[in-house]
Each structure stands twice: as structure tokens, then as C-alpha cells.
Structure 1
Amino acid sequence: MRRLSVTDWIFALVAVLVVAGGGVVLFRSTPATVHHQQAAAVVPASHSDGLSEVEGGYRFERVVVPDARGTAVPVAFRILGGDGKPVTRFLDNQTKQLHFFVVRDDMFVFRHVHPVLDGDTWRTSVDLPDGGAYRMFAEFIPLDTKDPRHPVVLGVPFSLAGDTALAPVPAPDARTVTATGYTVTRVDEPATLPLLSERSIRLAVRTPDGTPVDRLEPHLGANGHMTGFHTMLLSATHMHPVEPAGAPLIDGELTFRSVFAERGEYRLFLEFSHGGKLHTAALTVAVA
């Protein structure tokens, strides 16, 4: 066997250091890498959306911004692409090309409407009964998306002047009652949801007389629609129903898949259709 020269020993030592260094780098980077891959692999949502008016090469261009409280307050905007030109066609997302939300920073006001296209401008109107700081969100899925279940969400703040009756965001609670008398109770565990981990949120829906809802009428092509908003950041999180539209519900339970990207509290707004009417339930959940 050939005896190792000084040069051989030097190269061997360098190789050991490189491997060891790579091992250290790999060890240190693996959690973040796996964390990112797990988040990216989860279909429902793993992003804080709507924190900016620019995302994914798209930009929200204001045309008409609410400037006073009232009913049917007009809103108009354009969605500009990377070339600066208006984009007027998106993939259908729960039967609509574009969803539009307005929330007040205390979560007391929530609106979900669907603008219509007028030339290159999207137009709608919303009821804004009180002043305060608001954020509006435009949600859409680009035609060339590689992730059709994760839409682009652009968020823009605005405020309405005048006296405002602010209300504290309700603390996390498993039970809520809609304005129409339906009771919605969260029956999944744990009560505090883990950060960046896919979970199923199970909601038991009861009619005003306490009877479990055995079947919901399709709303936006599904059993329901639910979006969450971080109570401090005002970012949006999407949730997707598990049960197919029109399928019977076991003990009135409706399931949504969710992933939350930030710690803190989220206000969830569930919309569902039953008895020929649309009902909205709001729940606060904690994420840690």
C-alpha cells in the first residue's frame, strides 16, 4: 500500500472539512427546508394573503374607493398584470372569477361580494354602516397558475371618517349564533390550532330549533364558503370544504381544511345556504 504524502493528507483533511461543513449546513438548513416543503405541499393555504396591493406580478389599481358610510357604496378597481395592462379573465373560483371582501379592523363589519366586469374595470357596491379603518381584498386565480387552489389576494386599506362605534374582537369561542338564529359549534380539537400545520375544522350546524342540518344547499358551488382574517395583521386565509356540495352531513357537521401562516387570533366567517337563505357565522380561533 502506498504511504500517504503530506499533500495527500492535506487533501484528505480538506475533504473531511468540506463534508463536515456540508453536514453542518445541511443540519442547520434541513428544518427550514422541510418546513417550507411541508407548507408548500399543503393545498388549502399556507400564506398570509392580502397584506399588499402587489402580489405574484399583479397589482390592485384603485378607481373608486369608498369615502363615506352608507348602503350600496360604490367600489371600482382594475387588476393590472406584469405588463401594466388590465387583466380581465381569471379561472373560476367557486363559480366566480373574482371574490371581493371588505373587513373593518375590529372584524365587526364583513362583506363578501362579487364584482362585475365593466370594460377593463371591476365594479361592485358594499354596505358600510359605520366609519373606521377597513381593508378590501380582491381574490382571483390567474389563468396560468401552477397552484389553482391557492388564489392571488391583493389587499388595500381605506378609512371612513366620522364617529365610529368600535367593538372588541370576540375572544376565541367554540360556539356562535348567526343573525338568523342558526347555531354553529366548532367540534374539532385542539382548541388552539398549530401554526403551519394542516388541520380540519369541523363545524356542527344547527337550525334555530336545535335540529342538526342534514343537508346544505350549494353556495358558490360548494357546501359553504369560509375565509379567515388575522385580527391584527388583517391578512386573509382560505379554507376549502371537504364534503361535496349537496352531500348529506353527518350530525350536521361541515368540515374545512385549513393552514394558518401566522400566530395570533383569526376571525373566521362561514357562509352557508339553508332554507333558501344565506347565513353567516363568525368564530374566533387562536393559532400558536
Structure 2
Amino acid sequence: MHAGLRITAFAAALAATFGTAYGVGKGVDPVVEDPAPARHESHGEASPDPAGGGDHGGHETAPAGGLQISEGGYTLDLRTTTVTAGKRSDLSFAIRDSAGRAVTAYQREHEKELHLIVASRDLATYRHVHPTRAADGTWSIPVELPRAGGYRVFADFTPAKKGAENLTLGADLAASGTYEPRQLPAPKATAKVNGYEVRLDGALRPGKETELRLKVSRGGSPVTDLQPYLGAYGHLVALRSGDLAYLHVHPGGEPGDGRTKPGPEISFTATAPSSGTYRLFLDFKHQGQVHTAEFTVRAGTAAAGSPAPAHEDGAEEHGH
């Protein structure tokens, strides 16, 4: 995933018989509120946020990418579009060029040719995984979605072609079974996962670059020996509630540069594409294990104060 920032948006909704989840770290503690920025003119009515986060009012501050299954002459050909919840299945896809050929050469970014994000429509489930590419350009990885529901699959990559730009393409995936909707947790400034606590300082602002600082502690003591994961001490992904607009940003600095410390703080800069509610997912590695801390934040509006559903501390382990 590129060192800058990728914004991806899409609006497809799956049928009501589908929709839900992959588990990860659960957010708890103080509310993150973003003071309202300068007013953005709205062009038409703002669409409601089905996950409880309010509208996205105003216009996009950057061109939306990734809403599309095709962009820049490349298409995400998702061959697995339906799986059964609770059963292990092979997720298979290819990236095709404008001539329909499967792409077989990629630039390596953060130690991988392609990064795959799988997220449920209600944002209760998130996975950052790395599939295997066959010689013919087919990518595959086994997945087991624990709950029925609608999911979005994001492929983040850069073709190995002179002048090629980083792309994030998205496609829908459904897990069949009994649908049980989940409410998005209320905004919180701390998240607990597998015995770790991560505190978020800073706020997302529409159209304005801001700093997000995440501090990792364990048992009340700061963690100062984070391990590099995919060439960084942390990876942050944000998904906008309602349409799952995708934003990826890496921290400033990198391990071994002589100035970036291995914790407890990981710093990022990010710009929200619009006002609205976002779910942040931080991947970090310590003592050989990768953990994911989750946060709900609101950009451009005050926190709505709807109660968070009951969640236990700790996270369902998942592959990266």
C-alpha cells in the first residue's frame, strides 16, 4: 500500500439476506469528537448513514477511486462472489488490463505485490491479508467468514508498468446464512485488543490534512519495542460508514531511518474525503504477533452519542 493516501468509495448494497462480519479488536473508552470545520456546500440531499453515523454531507474533497471495480485501465475480476458463512472457502480473483489479460507483474510495496482488505458492510469485520499469485496471474487465499452478510473486497496494488499509479479496486462478496445486523460502536478514543490498549489522539477533518497519533500500551506501561510489520511500525486503514469509502495511509518515517522510534507512538497524517462516520483499523506487531485495534470516529460533525453495543475486550485472531 502506497506511502501516501488512497481514497476509495463505492455505494452498492447487498440484499437484506446478507450482511456482516469478520471480528477484530473492539473499541472502548473516551469519545473522539471533531469540531465542525468550515461549512461545505452540499449539492443535493446527503444520503443517510445506514450504520448509524449520520450523513456524509458536502462534496468529496478528492476524486473517489475504488468505488469502481475498474479504474485506470485495470479491472478486479473477483471469481469468488459467494461463500457460506462459517465454512472455509478459497477466495480467487485476478487483476485484468484493458485487453482482458491477467496482470502478472507488480511493483512491491511494503514488502508485498498486492494487499487485500476484506470488510463487512456493517464494519464489524475487517481483514488485511496477502493472497498468493499463480504464474497465470490468478490470486487466491483461503477465507472463513464467521457470519452471514455482505462484504467488500479491496485490492490495493501498483502494476509494474512505467508510470503506473497505485490503485485500489473494489468488488462485492456475499456470505450466505442467517443475517444478524450489528450496530456500529459509538466513537471512542481508546481500543483494547488482546491485552493491549491503544489511544487515539487527533481528529479526521474533511479536506484538511491532520495528524493522528496512536499510542500503544500493555498492562499500563508504554510499548517501546514494536516490531516492523510490512516495512512499518503500523498500518492504518479508514473505511467510511455507509458506502465504505476507503482511505489508506502509512506512518511518517520507517524502521531503521534513525529517527522513527518503535513505539509507543505511531503517527499518521490523513485527510477525510468528506464529513461522516469512519471506522479506523490499526495493525501493529509486538512479540511476533499482529494485532488490530479498531476505532469509530466522526469527521466534520459532533459525536452522535448512540450507545455502543456490548463487546468484550480482545479480538478474534486473523491472518495478515
TM-score, normalisation: structure 2: 0.70
What do you get for the CA RMSD once the two structures are aligned?
A: 1.9
Kindly indicate whether residue 274 of structure 2 is the aligned counterpart of residue 274 of structure 1: no
Match of 1:17 in 2: none
Match of 1:236 in 2: 246
Aligned residues: 239
Match of 2:29 in 1: none
Match of 2:311 in 1: none
Kindly indicate whether residue 106 of structure 2 is the aligned counterpart of residue 90 of structure 1: yes
The alignment partner of 1:87 has SS state of coil
User: Do the aligned residues in 2 keep the contact of 1:48 with 1:262 (CA within 8 Å)?
Assistant: no
Deviations 1:146-201 (A, max 9, x none): 586xx2011111222221332211122111111x111111122xx4x221211111
* One of 188, 203, 207 as aligned partner of 1:196: 207
- Give distance in 1, aligned partners of 2:289 and 2:176: 33
More helix per residue: 1
- Identity between Structure 1 and Structure 2 (%): 34
Larger Rg: 1
Match of 1:13 in 2: none
* One of 183, 198, 204 as aligned partner of 2:197: 183
Match of 1:18 in 2: none
TM alignment of 1:1-288, pairs within 5 A: 43-45=4-6, 46-118=62-134, 119-144=136-161, 146=163, 151-178=166-193, 180-188=194-202, 191=203, 193-207=204-218, 209-245=219-255, 247-249=260-262, 252-288=264-300
User: Do the aligned residues in 2 keep the contact of 1:51 with 1:155 (CA within 8 Å)?
Assistant: yes
CA deviation after TM superposition for structure 1 residue 73, in Å: 2.1
In structure 2, stretches of 5+ residues that fail to align are 7-61, 301-320
What amino acid does structure 2 have at the position aligned with 1:242?
G
CA deviation after TM superposition for structure 1 residue 276, in Å: 1.5
CA deviation after TM superposition for structure 1 residue 240, in Å: 0.9
The alignment partner of 1:267 has SS state of strand
4+ runs of 1 displaced by more than 4 Å? 145-148
Structure 1 238/106 Cα, relative in aligned 2: closer, same or farther at 3 Å?
Answer: same
Structure 1 70/53 Cα, relative in aligned 2: closer, same or farther at 3 Å?
Answer: same
- Give distance in 1, aligned partners of 2:174 and 2:147: 10
User: Do the aligned residues in 2 keep the contact of 1:60 with 1:78 (CA within 8 Å)?
Assistant: yes
